[in-house]
Structure 1
């Protein structure tokens, strides 16, 4: 990397002028449109540079390579892992190849560029195929166990998606006269097992950000093995470490929508407010509810280095989006976002012998962790502990069976519920709990439980799963829309200032 862009404390040097920007998979599928917005737009000359793009795989590709994120339909990895001696994974890999080649046809109108793109990805795909065949043969001998290699296989397969999209994007930019560079962090055919920061530093050692536009794979092969900790959230970790190592002034995530006060498809586009600014604390709460602005552990690096994060709509480049910073206090108390998660399991553990006895909580947590059930929230009293979980019913039943054997006097039950959350930087003095109960009662919704913590950053309401949509609409109307309308109707100077802040 050029000398004037050497790593250091962001903001401490005026030469730290560049941004690190991530494009999600759904947006990447509209690559041609991205040329007219964030990739090029109206930029010319020097304005094209001092940007680093981190790209995800095109929408649906990672599902085909691993497994479908929502339905669980097996992809190449799942087929390979479950049938070591079968070849169904090979057919699945061929289907991925066909889809990738078709995508190249959509993107490149120039036959020369299309040929280059096709050859590149086919060489990589066939290299992976040869590797998996050799590994299958090796593990047919008793001394080699397939289970020990599956995480590496998963990472190698996942990397194909980002390699494909990053190479294509760099090539497409070169067609437009941009001095773009494909930066492959996937570790393909490299022998050194490097830490993530060192892999990034080496890759950028000779890049002049003022004169080159790097397009980087969202996946990075490294000693830490990103998928072990983050599974499919690895691209945001790559974004955050790139921002830190290169000393970026700002990190940007481009999505196909704005970060708004609720899902516009649910409450209506005219009703939602785009969040102009918020804090990393709010971003953490959103992630817990599945409305992820950025993975919490990826945000940690940015927060610690004082690098702000901006979330933008990739197809409305003129809109400033949402700025997320550490310690950003709210101008006034109030709810910023209403969101939630459906299909949650309320896992209730009741035992009269629990009162003032240690060990129950630890045993429950150990069982939940072993079966990879994600804890969204938790409540307890003298003899009951309830965890609100995301995961499969099959895993829930296994945990229930294990704990029943360990604690034969316990009563264990589970039911499907939903959690709706009102989130804001400062809910103190906003009568959020009181108002939430009022609007839910008016909508005919009876809460099953309420979590209102002393930090006053979020309010969680447990409801029947069937009431989810109605609860979000009611809470957004009562806690966001009506609150903003009340400000606009205040004639005093204080009301006008509060409106500008909102």
Structure 2
């Protein structure tokens, strides 16, 4: 990559936003920019909305996609039909994007080449693994990577082609490793791909998936595009990373709290971003945030369809000026996995076996509490996986009582929740709303306050805490008392 006097930005566009192609051209990709203002940017693009779900499995429902069907011995050749359905979906997407017949045919040829290349590969792998010397399980991660990369490759090719049709000198940067004969580290892959790019005159459109020695899918699963964004930003020495979403990073979900009451978060730090990630509301993947934080590079989260709004700046050195809750969010589908055993009193490392079982069955730990004889993990995962954990532990700890119940976990998050007023006002807000929490975690770090409630009280709890800790936070105590009277 040639030296630049003006430091560039690296910007990622999420899948839902990518599907609104025409609007993206009018806002993020081109908008009012002309000439040199179009450049000094690198874009990392995700697959179009729903495409990765169809290629792997549905992220929320778990409905099997091509990968899950291929990995299942019972599915037979159903994966082939699913792959054909993905191809048809790609052609339909191309139909919506390109009015120019030649461009549409070019996009269809690209998609067809990738789809049929993968189909041939999977057929050959199936035949190979029909022999006892070759085990399919050993190749599944590679299959998952290859399938996931199809969606990002399509969106990168289409976006660069569309920009060229609109007079922008754009170039697809394919990091998916398609037909590459060698494999490099993530940073080496990025450096090699951008070695001859002139950022002052070209607009690189980079695939969100990167094929590399680190095998991003194995470590970060579907958070890989943000890892690509992060390392691109650091390796190329960008001045800022930007994530374009279809919404602002706000004080609460406007579907749960009145849109008039919700506030856009103007600035925060990476500590808050980590807490959001733990609640499943990722501003950015934690590992990706780590790279940016260590390099001292800020991250900006913007609404892709409100380009004039500055969005939210996330930096490591942004301390709060005063104690304040910045966002209220949570998870409505959490399992409290309670492990009670009087034999654990005074025994060090008693929960090692529990943690190993949770890791083995890939169950996500959100929070944890313990006392003399009880350890409770608050878990996010499928009931099937958690039941397997329960079965494993029941056979090891026969004197233990293991219970499982569904709960909701709501978290009030901010850079500084050190004031005792935060907890007091939270309890007052819940009481006023008639909500009796099952538990409250107020930790020493003072960046989050976690409230555990019944699942049916999830939305009401978010609304109550948002009102008490954000909307009414600046109301003087005597005014609150007067209003109550």
Structure-1-length-normalised TM-score = 0.94
- For 1:494, the equivalent position in structure 2 comes to none
**Unmatched runs of 5 consecutive residues or more in structure 1:** 5-14, 490-502
Q: Distance in 2 between matches of 1:353 and 1:48?
A: 66
1:280 counterpart residue number:
270
Q: Residues 18 and 49 of structure 2 are in contact (CA less than 8 Å); yes or no, is this contact kept in structure 1?
A: yes
Say yes or no: does 1:439 pair with 2:409. no
Asked if 1:338 is matched to 2:328, the reply is yes
CA contact (8 A) 2:6 2:40 kept: no
Aligned match for 2:179, one of 186, 189, 194: 189
1:74 correspondence with 2:64: yes
Pair 1:88 & 2:78 matched? yes
Distance 1:180 1:279 in 2: 33
The answer for the alignment partner of 2:365 in structure 1 is: 375
Q: Is the 8 A contact 2:300 2:311 kept in 1?
A: yes
Deviation (angstroms), 1:169: 0.2
Check conservation: 1:196, 1:223, Cα contact below 8 A.
yes
Q: CA deviation at 1:397?
A: 1.7
Aligned to 1:215, the other structure's residue is in SS state strand
How big is each residue's C-alpha offset from its partner over 1:97-134, in whole Å with a ceiling of 9 and x where there is no partner? Answer: 01100100100011111111111111111111111111
Q: Return the offset for 1:3.
A: 2.4
Match of 1:387 in 2: 377
Pick one of 167, 172, 196 that aligns with 1:206: 196
Q: 1:48·1:213 contact (CA, 8 Å) conserved in 2? A: yes
Give the match's secondary structure for 2:409: strand
Q: CA deviation at 1:305?
A: 0.2
Q: Does 1:478 align with 2:445?
A: no
The corresponding residue for 1:148 is 138
SS of the aligned residue for 1:379 comes to strand
Count matched residues.
Answer: 478
Partner secondary structure for residue 243 of structure 1: helix
Contact 1:335 1:422 in 2 (8 A): yes
Cα distance in 1 between the residues matched to 2:405 and 2:250: 30
Query: Does residue 134 in structure 1 map to residue 124 in structure 2?
Result: yes
Considering only aligned residues, what root-mean-square deviation do their CA atoms show, in Å?
A: 1.2
Query: Is the contact between residue 42 and residue 204 of structure 2 (CA under 8 Å) also seen in structure 1?
Result: yes
CA distance in structure 1 between the aligned counterparts of 2:308 and 2:211, rounded to whole angstroms: 34
Bigger Cα displacement from structure 2, 393-402 vs 273-282: 393-402
Where 2:351 maps in the other structure, the secondary structure is helix
Matches within 5 A, 1:340-379: 340-379=330-369
Structure 2 matches for 1:377-456, cutoff 5 A? 377-429=367-419, 431-456=421-446
| Matching residue of 2:2 | 2
Q: What is the rounded CA distance, in whole Å, between the counterparts of 1:16 and 1:424 in structure 2?
A: 34
Q: Residues of 2 paired with 1:114 and 1:404: CA distance? A: 58
1:402 is displaced (CA, Å) by 1.7
Structure 2 equivalent of residue 235 of structure 1: 225
Moved over 2 A (4+): 83-86, 484-487
Gaps of 5+ in 2: 480-485
CA contact (8 A) 1:333 1:430 kept: no
- Give the match for residue 11 of structure 1: none
**Aligned pairs for 1:282-321 within 5 A:** 282-321=272-311
Instruction: Tell me the distance in 2 between the aligned counterparts of 1:485 and 1:221.
Output: 53
Shift of 1:86: 2.2
Q: Is the 8 A contact 2:437 2:451 kept in 1?
A: yes
**Deviation digits for residues 131-180 of structure 1 (CA, Å, limit 9, x no counterpart):** 11111111111111111101000000000000000000000000010010
- C-alpha separation in 2, matches of 1:452 and 1:75: 41
What residue is the counterpart of 1:12 in the other structure? none
Tell me the alpha carbon deviations over residues 427-471 of structure 1, each in whole angstroms, 9 at most, x when there is no partner.
Answer: 112611111111101111111111111111110011111100000
Q: Is the 8 A contact 2:174 2:206 kept in 1?
A: yes
Return the TM-score normalized by structure 2. 0.97
Rounded to whole Å, the distance in 1 between the matches of 2:38 and 2:420 is 45
How far did 1:368 drift? 0.9
Q: Where does residue 483 of structure 2 map in the other structure? A: none
User: What is the 5 A alignment of 1:33-52?
Assistant: 33-52=23-42
2:17–2:246 Cα contact (<8 Å) kept: yes
**Contact 1:16 / 1:247 at 8 angstroms: preserved in 2?**
no
Distance 1:223 1:373 in 2: 25
Deviation at 1:216, TM superposition (A): 0.3
Give the 3 Å change call, closer, same or farther, for CA 466–261 of structure 1 in structure 2: same
